[in-house]
Amino acid sequence: MHIVDGALAVPVLAVGAALTVAGVALGLKRMDYDHLPQVGVLSAAFFIASYIHLPIGFSSVHLILNGLIGLALGWAAFPALLVALFLQAVFFGFGGFLVLGVNAVNIALPAVMVYYLCAHGISSSSPRVAAIWGAIGGAGSIVLTTIMVAFSLMLSGEAFLLAAKATFVAHIPVMIVEGGVTAAAVLLLRKVKPEFLHIKDETDYA
């Protein structure tokens, strides 16, 4: 899901950078610094998960976990994901530095959107309902990210139209896997550490 340097037009890079700066500023403003270790843990989880690439046909895909990160962090997903993307560019050359803003907004903005769409659902007293909303958040974040990546490529020229379509198709299996992983993570965290998702302990449910 990393777009590489040199693939995007300058206006797309500029808009991506501006949106990321705004998102990071808002994320830092709204971040609960008592939960800073949680931000670090989820940033590291993204760093590791997205490092493992699986080949699919002519391309490769990887887990992103931005749905789970969004459910747990809200706007703080922006600084958490930006740091991880920056370190991946430094150590492994994933993506690049000029495209860092676009990559960050393509992954972090869907995480925030999932937070607003699904956070209430994972707080349900019913574990089944919570798992369903977790699955929607996990899969939905990948759908939104692939759409944004494809849109970024399309805005940079018709030559990238085929790549934009291929990106979406290649990530359909990831959508399914991330939905299951996020649902399972929501159920586990509700039992062992519900405050991680900013919800009350299941034992308090009536």
Q: What is the pLDDT of residues 127-155, one digit of tens each?
A: 999 999 999 999 999 999 988 988 888 88
Residue 127 has a CB neighbour count (10 Å cut-off) of 14
Q: pLDDT class for 206, splitting at 50, 70, 90?
A: very low
Residue 164 has a CB neighbour count (10 Å cut-off) of 19
Query: Quick check: 12 and 152 in contact, CB under 8 A?
Result: yes
Q: What is the pLDDT of residues 69-124, one digit of tens each?
A: 999 999 999 999 999 999 999 988 888 899 999 999 999 999 999 999 999 999 98
Cα 38 from Cα 137, distance rounded (Å): 19
Q: pLDDT class for 203, splitting at 50, 70, 90?
A: very low
pLDDT at 205 over 50: no
pLDDT at 58: 44
Cα 132 from Cα 184, distance rounded (Å): 10
Task: Judge residue 79's burial from the number of C-beta atoms within 10 Å of its C-beta, 0-12 exposed, 13-18 middle, 19 or more buried.
Answer: buried
Cα 153 from Cα 2, distance rounded (Å): 12
Calculate what percentage of the chain has a pLDDT beyond 70.
88
Closest by CA position to 95, among listed 110, 111, 106:
106
In this prediction the pTM is 0.87
Cα 183 from Cα 162, distance rounded (Å): 32
- Two tokens, residue 33: 């610094």
Q: pLDDT class for 43, splitting at 50, 70, 90?
A: very high
Domains, the chain, with CATH or none: 10-204 (1.10.1760.20)
Distance of alpha carbon 108 from the chain centroid: 5
Q: pLDDT class for 54, splitting at 50, 70, 90?
A: low
pLDDT at 158: 67
Q: pLDDT class for 201, splitting at 50, 70, 90?
A: low
pLDDT at 124: 87
pLDDT at 174 over 70: yes
Query: Quick check: 111 and 144 in contact, CB under 8 A?
Result: no
